[in-house]
Amino acid sequence: MKVSSQIDGSICGAILSLLPRHRPSPPPLLSKLPSGRRTWWDADAGGQGANAWQPGRLYSTGPGGAPARRHRGFCANRHRLDLRAAAETTKRWKSSSLACLRPTAPPLPPVEDGHHHNSGFFQQRLISPICAGHIVTAAAAPAAAAEAAPAATDPPPIAAPSTTPPPEAAPGHEQPPKLQLQKHTKQPVGLSKAELLDLVGPDPYEDDDASTVEDHLRFVRDPYMRGYAPADGPDVIIANRRDEVDFPSIDEVREPNTEERQILWDLRFAVISRLRSPHKVDLDTIYEIYQRLPEPRIPYIQGRLRHQLLKALGQPLRKDSKSMMRYFAVVADVKDSGIALTTAEWNCAISYASRYVGVTSEVETESALKLWREMEQDAGVRANDVTFNILFDAASKSGNFTLAEMIYKEMEARGHRFNRYHYVSLIHFFGLKLDTSGMRAAYREMVNAGEMIDTVALNAVLSGLLRSGEEAAAERVYERMKASVKRDAELPARTYATDRAITKALLMFSKIGRKFPAMRPGLQSMAFVHPDLHTYRILINHYGAKAGDLAKVAQFIDEMKLFQIPLHGAIFLALFKGFTDHGGFPRSPWSEQRLRSIWDALLQALDDDVAGLEIKSWLAVWVLRAFARCSNRASVLEAYDELKARWRLDFDDEQFMMEFLRNLVAGLK
């Protein structure tokens, strides 16, 4: 039988689904029901008429045949049933095919005729053990009454309900239990507050029920109060003790076999040699030895050797993308092993993220800020003055002066004292903003703070003056730098290692000069203020590539020879940029003849293996552009062949150069 969709899965619907498919004819006694009350048996032969039965509808009619108001009722049944019809139906089901539903509810008590219109299930409700929302107060039923009688094949006729009280039970016969119907209430009748609380019982996990909902909500909001919060990875903190810094010790490392022990020995020898003499061991060699260790590699390496390895990888001759990825790969291995990074190692990572390209942009600045946030929030390592100097320098070079000022204020709020690094960065900051007054004020503060003035500080002033258009003031600074060099004095060769050593010495001189002011003039006389390679790079870039003054450029190149400053790839780059921007038209001083003389000098320097000079893609690009501007297609192809015979580019750079040459010569004659 298809159950009506209006029954909504109630108990009555479940009972109707068990009825036989063939409906028996309604008993004749049901015809005595009051008029206006219809049941689902009331259907004429043709299904016609106002009160014709319709499948799936149980309803009662009101005055004029209109449907009476419907109610939401017993176990989600939304239709009003006649109590008397329900009682007769119950009697019939007891003796029919529903015997499987034993035990059944006792018969309903008689209902007076005068109240049959208000005797639906929603005014007086049957109490069922299935639905706890309806209450039955009944005497304990004997065990015999629960036994089910065998179901009859044909149900007997249903007698008309009687209004007379039932007769007394004969002696020896048991009277069925009487039902006492009560109106439905929201809570059990007769239960006090204590009894209601006792329905659930006390909390077995608390001594007293004093906790509130707000207390438990705090446990939900704060996972660390619960005591079983999920692990958020190793808590990396800064190492303060010596044993923490050098963890793991030589007794705590993973025991290597013979082959691994030889790899560790080679790695230790290469790292120490690199730190002592950077030109003897290449960083690629060190990283290749490190890669030969089985994964995970860090547990094999002693703590002291690990710090030396990161220090060596963090001091390349020139920071680029390759050296950055190499350093970050080792840092990732260290973090995956749950070992803390020191402040110096975090600072090196931030410096790599901001300075691995030639020109710092917003992308590199954002990467540096992310590492700073990871350093302080995730690892719990507080930034020091070196960290803020790196961030300030990156923000200034990227042109984000607002961010640079915010970093400057944060550094002041944390109480970090300025040193020579900060003052030089501040001078460069005002130079980028074209504020020469602020630049001079920063230089005065550096002098008044007792810092040593050297070539680095004067180069920052020189660069800011030239960028701001004060060429006369810049030339005066340059002349004073030249005047500081004594005649016949041999200037020491400047390398990466010597520059770091000089910087540390100047920081020590500053501390001594502040403690003993009388010694400051003598310490300042030991600082070098003569021009260096970076000085001439600034001058040639300005007067050559920007201003196009070839005579000034020739003067500076001659003075480089005077001060025994060797040629560098950056000087040749500035010269070829000048030919690209200012050559290619008649009577220009940047002629093809002078271009070929510079080109021959570059080839001669390459053949002589001058230190610090090699062919990179950026230098080759500007060489080809200069020949394309000042010469013809044949000269461009000839220059490309000469460069290809001398460069040491990888596959990707070679493919880039081939594509660049194809696009360059496409528009040439």
pLDDT band at 608 (very low <50, low <70, confident <90, very high): confident
Does residue 151 carry a pLDDT above 80? no
Does residue 75 carry a pLDDT above 50? no
Give the least confident one: 160-169, 259-268, 312-321, 483-492: 160-169
pLDDT confidence of residue 233: 52
Dist. CA 462–CA 477, nearest whole Å: 7
pLDDT confidence of residue 118: 45
pLDDT band at 606 (very low <50, low <70, confident <90, very high): confident
Dist. CA 34–CA 160, nearest whole Å: 12
Q: Indicate the residue type of 387.
A: T
Query: DSSP character for 427?
Result: H
pLDDT confidence of residue 368: 92
Q: What is the 3-state secondary structure (H, E, C) of 16-43?
A: HCCCCCCCCCCCHHHHHCCCCCCCCCCC
Dist. CA 75–CA 608, nearest whole Å: 101
Q: What is the pTM of this model?
A: 0.59
pLDDT tens per residue, range 428-463: 989 988 888 888 998 988 888 888 888 999 999 999
Nearest residue to 478 (alpha-carbon basis) of 566, 560, 576: 560
The stretch 223-251 carries a mean pLDDT of 60
pLDDT band at 228 (very low <50, low <70, confident <90, very high): low
pLDDT confidence of residue 99: 46
Does residue 33 carry a pLDDT above 60? no
Does residue 185 carry a pLDDT above 50? no
- Residues 6 or more apart whose Cβ sits within 8 Å of residue 352: 314, 319, 323, 324, 327, 328
Contact criterion met (CB below 8 Å) for 458 and 452: no
pLDDT confidence of residue 224: 61
Does residue 158 carry a pLDDT above 80? no
Does residue 540 carry a pLDDT above 90? yes
Contact criterion met (CB below 8 Å) for 313 and 283: yes
pLDDT confidence of residue 416: 85
Dist. CA 58–CA 43, nearest whole Å: 12
Which of 657 and 140 is assigned the larger pLDDT?
657
Query: DSSP character for 495?
Result: -
Give the least confident one: 24-38, 267-281, 326-340, 617-631: 24-38
pLDDT confidence of residue 66: 46
pLDDT confidence of residue 276: 87
pLDDT tens per residue, range 333-363: 998 888 888 899 999 999 999 988 878 888 9
Helices and strands of the chain, counted as H and E runs: 26, 2
Q: Where are the domains of the chain?
A: 1-45+52-158+177-187, 233-318, 571-665
DSSP β-ladder status, 136-138 and 179-181: antiparallel
Other Cβ atoms within 10 Å of 425 Cβ, number: 24
Give the least confident one: 160-164, 307-311, 519-523: 160-164
107 token code pair: 């018969």
pLDDT band at 295 (very low <50, low <70, confident <90, very high): confident
Which of 88 and 43 is assigned the larger pLDDT?
88
The stretch 373-381 carries a mean pLDDT of 87
Does residue 236 carry a pLDDT above 60? no
The overall average pLDDT reported for the chain is 74
How far is CA 602 from each of CA 383, 561, 575, 581, rounded to the nearest angstrom? 44, 15, 11, 19
Phi and psi of 247, rounded to 5°?
A: -75, 140
How far is CA 534 from each of CA 228, 530, 538, 549, rounded to the nearest angstrom? 59, 11, 6, 19
Does residue 616 carry a pLDDT above 60? yes
pLDDT band at 285 (very low <50, low <70, confident <90, very high): very high
Instruction: Give me the helix-helix angle, 592-607 and 617-630, nearest 10°.
Output: 150
Nearest residue to 465 (alpha-carbon basis) of 533, 535, 399: 535
